[in-house]
A and B are shown apart, each in its own frame.
Chain A
Amino acid sequence: MNYLVNNFDVVAKLFLQHLQLTLAVIFFSLLIGIPLGLLLARVRWLRGPVMSVLGIIYTIPSLSFFVLLIPLFGLGTRPAIIALTAYAQLLLIRNWLVGLTTIEPAVLEAARGMGLNGWQRFWQIEFPLALPMLLAGIRLVALSSIGIGTIAAFINAGGLGVLLFQGVITANYDKIFTGALAVTVLSFAANYFIRYLEQRAEFRIYGKRI
């Protein structure tokens, strides 16, 4: 614990970097995933091909994915965010799609029959009803990005992985322990915070926590 006490500012800086990286990944994942998921919900035949492509991307080992992106995007956070966002799509879209497609058909038919246009149906009906599943997807994205994000330190993306790599190279177990502890704290915090949002969204629909 000595390392943490003596280098608190360094650890805090890396912690924030890691958080930033994760938030950036969530942001870009949503930017792509929400419209893409909506498209898949509407156009059934696209689901198979798109989900398989996302599945294939997900199987690329993370370290090689980061390294493969270096010639294209250089070192730093950029390739890290791109790779993590690519991974995130499978987790995010699968959940979002389940959320959208499991809405009771009668609810959608009623909304259509009452004269809500497409935009109103999305914002007033589909989005709030699929929100718990979307948040579950975001939680998975956050957790996997925090985890895989440690490896991104290898390509100079910063974050808490820096402590781990440096600790391993210099055989500084205190440093390794500090890094691992910080990553765990971040994961737990992210998990509980998003789970809380999820439960609120669920509560609105089901009236109980499930």
Chain B
Amino acid sequence: MSNEMISSTADTNILPVSESGEIVFERVSKSFTTNTNPAVDQVSVKIPAGDLVVLLGPSGCGKTTLLKMVNRLYEPDSGKIWMGGKEIHTLPVNELRRQIGYVIQQVGLFPHMTIQKNISIVPHLLGWEEKQIIDRLEMLMQLIGLPVSYLPRYPRQLSGGEQQRVGLARALAADPEILLMDEPFAAVDAINRERLQSELIDLHGKLNKTILFVTHDVEEAFRLATKIIVMRAGKLVQYGTPLELVTQPENEFIEDLLGSSNILRKLSLVNVNSILKARKNQSIFTGGSQPVERPGTVLHPEDDLRSVVSLLLCSGRDSLPVKDSENHLLGTVGYSDLREMLISNLPSE
């Protein structure tokens, strides 16, 4: 946590963030009777409201255990967990769970219920009015990109990717501040996984929810995360932005995890957006005239730096403009940024 605030993430949140989405773990430990070593060992970490924080680590490192203690599927042996300034054990357990969206790898849609019933189950439990639920359903279907005509269908009639989208809609149904996602895309095929990841990034940008996301997939973690918590053997090893992890790995374990000796792999883990965010002055042009636009020579915030290198090489330029999906110029990124990032570590603030 020492280098927690190297880059300011505040500028990414334009919407006011309600603090009720903040999660704080305070010296949380949990052991299972089947194992002598604690599954989670004295973890203290603060998840700011509105961030997408990824819990990353090898299987058995305690990341899922930590996640499941937030909605009390597991109870900590010691320590406290705060949600929006409230200790979670001060709430009745089912009331707490209805305030938290929960998405799991196997989706767990109820096979005997239509999509509509699956999604509206928590709003019903909370006593929403029928009209309000119908409106919410339409909004959610639009959000996850499925037609409203899917509502009367059954889960078995949907593909795996569609089912996981419905799982997400179900978790978002009662508009929770916090979303817990336990390896949600691990069972989806590669093409769909990438699509779901991009959609999640989009969705996170739109909804501004706090998302705690568990994965063992390093690429996935770096793709999605505002910040990453790396865990090993129940302990928190490092907590930082993707760029911080790549440029300032805490120890050899992190370096091995990221494959830091391989510079191209390292580049592939960080995207253009992290560079833009990390750069202190957001001056739009780093000098020179703006190049004539040609297809393939524009960078997007979600492009990883490895593809930036290839685009730079192909274009023959020293730097390229970065544009968002609405074609707004966000800045430029070039060789100098890569050099700065890889050779000299970024200056800490």
User: Do A and B interact with each other, yes or no?
Assistant: yes
Q: 10 shortest A-B CB distances, which residue pairs?
A: A110-B108, A115-B97, A106-B106, A106-B108, A113-B102, A115-B98, A115-B94, A205-B112, A107-B108, A128-B112
A108 to chain B minimum Cβ distance, whole angstroms, is 8
A82 to chain B minimum Cβ distance, whole angstroms, is 35
B73 touches A113 (CB 8 A): yes
Contact among A104, A110, A120, A129 for B102, CB-based, below 8 A: A110
Q: Count A-B pairs with CB separation below 8 Å.
A: 68
Contact among B71, B109, B111, B154 for A113, CB-based, below 8 A: B71
Within 8 A of A (CB), among B114-171: 121-122, 125, 154, 156-157, 167, 170
CA gap between A120 and B97 in the complex, in Å: 14
- Is A12 in contact with chain B by the CB < 8 A criterion? no
Contact among A111, A112, A117, A207 for B110, CB-based, below 8 A: A111
Contacts of B200 in A (CB 8 A): none
When C-beta atoms are compared, the residue in chain A nearest to B97 turns out to be A115
Label chain A's interface by main secondary structure.
Answer: helix
Contact among B105, B110, B157 for A107, CB-based, below 8 A: B110
Contacts of B93 in A (CB 8 A): 115
Chain B: interface size category: 20 to 34
1/0 contact string of A105-134 vs chain B (CB within 8 Å):
011111111111100100011001100000
1/0 contact string of B80-106 vs chain A (CB within 8 Å):
000000000000011111101010111
- Is A13 in contact with chain B by the CB < 8 A criterion? no
Name 5 interchain pairs, CB-CB below 8 A, sorted by A. Answer: A111-B108, A114-B125, A115-B96, A124-B110, A206-B111
- Is A204 in contact with chain B by the CB < 8 A criterion? yes
Contacts of A110 in B (CB 8 A): 102, 104, 107-110, 167
B156 touches A114 (CB 8 A): no
B112 touches A106 (CB 8 A): no
A125 touches B110 (CB 8 A): yes
Contact among B94, B106, B121, B154 for A104, CB-based, below 8 A: B106
Contacts of B156 in A (CB 8 A): 206-207
Known: A125-B110, A204-B112. 4 other contacts (CB 8 A): A106-B106, A111-B110, A124-B110, A207-B157
